[in-house]
Chain A
Amino acid sequence: MENKSVIDVRQLIKVYQVGDVAVHALRGINLTVSAGEFLAIMGASGSGKSTLMNLLGCLDQPTSGEYFLDGVAVDALSKNEYADIRNQKIGFVFQGFNLLPRTTALENVELPLMYDRLHRIKNPRQSAIESLERVGLGDRMDHIPNQLSGGQQQRVAIARALVNEPAILLADEPTGNLDSRTSLEVISVFQELNSQGITIILVTHEHDLANYARRIVELRDGIVLKDKLVPTRKNARKDLEVYKQEENQ
């Protein structure tokens, strides 16, 4: 049954120990994400959505529960195996872009391939260029982050997340630091990638943005509150056009 599911999470629990107090960030999450989905995870701050994202992204280990990523049980792996999973199967986009300063866009995108131990990607330089072209930054490859706008920086980050051909693209509040127009640009990149078959999980607290996904999972206090399909999916590119017209008037 998990044949087509990229992510299969069962009874995922995460407890943080802060001093003497145990904080139950996740109290048993069950979630399945199929290949090609565009899922938005929503919730107020403290609902556990970032914690869930970190666990899905193999940046952190769960206290208990099972997690199958691309058919592999990853809940009981070593630190090194976690690093390899992050390198091979996951593309992560952060709110704060997290690009290396004083490093060109191209070198930033090449970064994950530096740690590609299996040499899965045969031609790193070429893959990085293609990845940048895919997000529309083919002409900005030699720019360093300081010379790029916020939206462009985030697109470099997306290119970096895509360069290792991951099973899933995770985006944690990717538009949190961007204005609404740039946000639309970034979201349209996600929609475009999703239409090409890339599985995407987007964490956001904005209902507006969540409606660009196909499915919305809402968390509250560490459990899944709602899991529903988006009834009327919005098109970011169209909305961007509308936005531009409004601006011009």
Chain B
Amino acid sequence: MLQLKNVLKTAFKSIFKNRMRSLLTSLGIIIGVSAVIVMVSIGEGSQKQIEEGIQSLGTNLIVVFPGASRSGGVSRGAGSFNRFTFEDVEKIDREAALISAVSPVVRTGGQIIGGGKNWFTTVFGVSPAYFEIRNWELQDGEFFSERDLRAKKKVALLGKTITDELFAEQDPIGEKIRIRSVPFTVIGVLKSKGQSGMGNDQDDVILAPATTVFYRLKGGRHVDMINASALSVERIDAAQEEMRAILREAHRLSPGDDDDFTISNQAEISDAASETSRIMTLLLGSIAGVSLVVGGIGIMNIMLVSVTERTREIGIRLSVGARSIDVLIQFLTEAVILSLSGGVLGILLSFIISIILNRFTELVAVVNPQIIIVSTLFSAAVGIFFGFYPARKASLLNPIDALRYE
């Protein structure tokens, strides 16, 4: 084996001899590598944002939706037993050991009039436990109590968006609003939660006692949804199973029947969202990867030029006893140095771009060490892959022909 030192020395000499050319060749790799890193980082950044958004939905959240009732494979269709009642919620509250809080959700919507303006929004009728389940915090005022719930009091808490729309210039606390003509007193303003992981505005909402919404606004038909909190993240699956059992009992389902509701937890919701964003990341990364391949072709091109230019040098080396493999290694080393240095510069560039993105745009780029290692290895691999053909071409030269080459 010939000395590595000499090979590297020769390689650097040749690269520095054509500074501009080497730089431009590396530029292809620099752009490719930084594009891959930045794209993947943006993907990971948005994934993180989505996960944080889902976290803001509530801790250890378990959600139960109604579903069509089935018996022995025969769907009985909507209305069979597919809505929840307050009794279901109370039963869960009484019997579930792994649930820390449970709340019915009665959902309606309508035109809201208040502060001399109006706005269309969603109204959630909930119990006080809901604030804890969904991580709602107060900006101002207070939450309603169990007593308010039992008394079907016409009180409401406003989300940030509605507060801004209706009460931009005045304190909404104590003000009257009309939800579909029914007057409510505003007792609190909720702290902003921003957009959810799915992209909808979580602050465009009014929270009111479930009973009030149920009897005054919806005419006492049904509870749309049940939200609950498991005692801990670790026991979320067990809590979910417990709730399923309680609800099956409440709905008098026999063992062969399918659930007449759909139960899912936050982990599942966040998994689905993460999966989507993971695919996005992969897609962005692959597109950027194409530019890396183009950069590799640039290296191949310039190495072919270099082999032609240095045919005589190759001839001299062969004539003093270099083997084909020595020449091959020499040119491969140069290709790898070009691509690897491009890779390192590309990583630096990607850091700069990420910092700029994070500071001046709404995009969040999270550079993780893994992608740096992968892209370094990948750029070296590009050098070997695209350097091999020119290097092999050089190594197969016949010494006499190479020496005669002008």
Contact = CB atoms under 8 A, between A and B. Distances in A.
Interface of A: 54, 57, 59-60, 79-80, 83-84, 86-88, 92, 94, 98-100, 102-103, 111-112, 114-117, 160, 164
Given A98-B315, A98-B316, A111-B316, A86 B321 contact: yes
A102 B319 contact: no
A90 B323 CA distance: 15
B392 interface: no
Contacts of A88: 321
Most buried by A among B17, B315, B321, B400: B321
Contacts of B157: none
B324 interface: yes
Interface in B1-42: 1-3, 6, 13, 17
Contacts of B324: 79-80, 83
Nearest to A157: B316
Given A98-B316, A115-B326, A83 B321 contact: yes
A98 B312 contact: yes
Interface string B378-406: 00000000000000000000111001000
Contacts of B3: 114
Contacts, number: 67
B323 A160 contact: no
Nearest to B3: A114
A111 B400 contact: no
Interface residues on B, range: 20 to 34
A164 B320 CA distance: 9
Given A83-B322, A87-B321, A115-B326, A102 B6 contact: no
Contacts of B316: 98-100, 111
A88 B2 CA distance: 15
Given A100-B316, A111-B317, A114-B2, A59 B322 contact: no
Q: State the main secondary structure of chain B at its contact with A.
A: helix
A115 B403 contact: no
B313 interface: yes
Contacts of B13: 102-103
Nearest to B324: A79
B318 interface: yes
Contacts of B318: 83, 86
Given A94-B403, A102-B17, A59 B321 contact: no
A142 B318 CA distance: 24
B323 A59 contact: no
A158 B324 CA distance: 24
B399 A115 contact: no
B290 to A, nearest CB: 37
Contact of A115 (B2, B17, B313): B2
Contacts of A111: 316-317, 320
A115 B241 CA distance: 73
Nearest to B14: A102
A114 B6 contact: yes
Contacts of B319: 57, 59, 86, 92, 94, 98
Nearest to B319: A92
Nearest to B398: A60
Interface string B213-257: 000000000000000000000000000000000000000000000
A112 B321 contact: yes
Contact of B320 (A54, A79, A112): A112
A57 B315 CA distance: 13
Contacts of A164: 320-321
Nearest to A51: B400
Contact of A83 (B1, B312, B313, B323): B323
7 contacts: A59-B403, A87-B320, A102-B17, A114-B3, A115-B321, A117-B1, A164-B321
A54 B400 CA distance: 8
Given A83-B318, A92-B320, A100 B313 contact: yes
A59 B320 contact: no
Contact of A84 (B2, B312, B321, B399): B321
Contacts of A116: 321
B323 A80 contact: yes
B400 A86 contact: no
B320 A160 contact: yes
Contacts of B1: 117
A112 B324 CA distance: 14
Given A111-B316, A114-B3, A115-B2, A98 B321 contact: no
Contacts of A102: 13, 17
Most buried by B among A83, A116, A164: A83
A119 to B, nearest CB: 11
A100 B320 CA distance: 12
A99 B13 CA distance: 15
A135 to B, nearest CB: 16
A84 B1 CA distance: 13
B20 to A, nearest CB: 17
Nearest to B321: A87
Interface string B273-290: 000000000000000000
Contacts of A112: 320-321
Contact of B322 (A57, A60, A94, A115): A115
Given A83-B323, A102-B17, A111-B317, 13 more contacts: A57-B319, A80-B325, A83-B322, A84-B321, A86-B320, A88-B321, A98-B312, A98-B316, A112-B321, A114-B322, A115-B2, A115-B320, A115-B322
